[in-house]
Amino acid sequence: MAPQEPLLLIYHILALCFAQRLFHDEYAVNIVILGPGAIGTLWAVKLAQAGHNVSMWSRSNHDKIHCSLQGQSTSHTFCNRSELGLKHADLILVTVKAWQLSGAIEPLLSKLHSDVIVLVMHNGMGTLDYLVDNLPNNPLLFATTSHGAMKLDGSNVKHTGWGETKLGALNQKGLSCEFLTEVLTDALEPVEWQQNIHHSLLLKLAVNCAINPLTALNDIKNGQLSSEFYFPLLEQLIDEICRVINAEGLVITQEALAKVVNKVITSTADNYSSMHQDIAHQRRTEIDFITGYLLTRAKFHNIAVPINDSLFQKIKKIEGK
């Protein structure tokens, strides 16, 4: 038996007790939302309404954050940057953008105890090494969500589209946290536990690589990608993406991937992609963690991805202006 196995067993038993305590004795989970923007505020309100103890950790120094969801008559007040809230946290839900992750977690590293579960929820890939290196003893999880949220002003958020959330472990300790599926389901269903979250992230990455840069550069809604004009380009793009995610371990044919991409294009036809919105508002995009990540993995596997590369360069050029 490996030396760490008895410890792991104890950890599993504790996690099970923790889960039972939660569900049978109606204890609430203490949750800190790190980066309460559009998606973080949506989860904060929904988790609080499900009976959990939620506080926030934003960049502002205000002790309290007031917010509400459009269409709901009640507004919510959350403690912000509460050291006590952080000390007693069971779960940190990190909802910053991919490129903000290290800057948001770094100042908290010395304050986080090693039992606190860190659940990261951002688009794109490429933050795993940072998390594993800097939080080696914490249960680490990743969630990918297709719920839509938009900040209407400083305190109001609109839930723009119902989606689904996939959740899974990034490390061994994270495997004991499947009970979070129920915690998140209470707030915003459906939530599905993934045995291999890496595969879900690769599929989401593939869809984002196909849709986001094209919609941002052509100033179009997602649905406009279904016009014949974009078909040849989209086909070449998907071919490149498919070869890279296959090499990364997600077995999917080009036809099947094209079907997934087209389904998202149709179901989000009226939406502007997040990259489109970032470019339109002259904000930094998540291109480094979407197409940029794909390029890095393509280089590693020695796969040529010229179309993705050219879209990446064009977005970077706009960002640099």
Ligand X SMILES: NC(=O)c1ccc[n+]([C@@H]2O[C@H](COP(=O)([O-])OP(=O)(O)OC[C@H]3O[C@@H](n4cnc5c(N)ncnc54)[C@H](OP(=O)(O)O)[C@@H]3O)[C@@H](O)[C@H]2O)c1
Catalytically annotated residues: 204
Residue of 55, 80, 127, 145 interacting with ligand X (CB under 6 A): 145
Inter-residue contact 290 to 310 (CB < 8 Å): no
What residues have CB less than 8 Å from 16, skipping those under 6 apart?
A: 176
* Residue 274 within binding range of ligand X, rule CB under 6 A: yes
Name the token pair of 133: 């290196």
Report how far residue 163's alpha carbon sits from residue 44's, in angstroms, rounded to the nearest whole number: 16
Residue of 46, 52, 122, 297 interacting with ligand X (CB under 6 A): 122
Burial letters for 94-107: b for 16+ Cβ neighbours within 10 Å, e otherwise?
Answer: bbbbbbbbeebbee
Number of chain positions touching ligand X (CB under 6 A): 25
Provide the minimum distance between the beta carbon of 216 and ligand X in the complex, in angstroms, as a whole number.
Answer: 13
Provide the minimum distance between the beta carbon of 258 and ligand X in the complex, in angstroms, as a whole number.
Answer: 22
What residues have CB less than 8 Å from 18, skipping those under 6 apart?
A: 90, 179
* Residue 95 within binding range of ligand X, rule CB under 6 A: yes
* Residue 98 within binding range of ligand X, rule CB under 6 A: yes
Q: Which is nearer to ligand X, 107 or 232 (CB)?
A: 107
Which of these segments, 141-149, 170-178, 244-252, 259-267, binds ligand X (CB under 6 A)? 141-149
* Residue 286 within binding range of ligand X, rule CB under 6 A: yes
Would you give the DSSP letter of residue 319?
A: H
Interface of this chain with ligand X, residues 58 to 87, rule: CB under 6 A:
58-59
Structural element, H or E, at residue 233 = helix 231-247
Inter-residue contact 286 to 319 (CB < 8 Å): no
Upper half-sphere CA count for residue 44 (Cβ side, 13 Å):
33
Would you give the DSSP letter of residue 273?
A: P
* Residue 37 within binding range of ligand X, rule CB under 6 A: yes
Helix 254-267 × helix 197-218 angle, to 10°: 60
Residue of 33, 38, 201, 307 interacting with ligand X (CB under 6 A): 38
* Residue 104 within binding range of ligand X, rule CB under 6 A: yes
Q: Which is nearer to ligand X, 151 or 243 (CB)?
A: 151
Q: Which is nearer to ligand X, 35 or 213 (CB)?
A: 35
Provide the minimum distance between the beta carbon of 250 and ligand X in the complex, in angstroms, as a whole number.
Answer: 20
Residue of 6, 103, 136, 249 interacting with ligand X (CB under 6 A): 103
Name the token pair of 144: 């990918």
Chain contacts with ligand X (rule: CB under 6 A) = 34-40, 57-59, 95-98, 100, 103-104, 122-123, 145, 148-149, 151, 274, 286
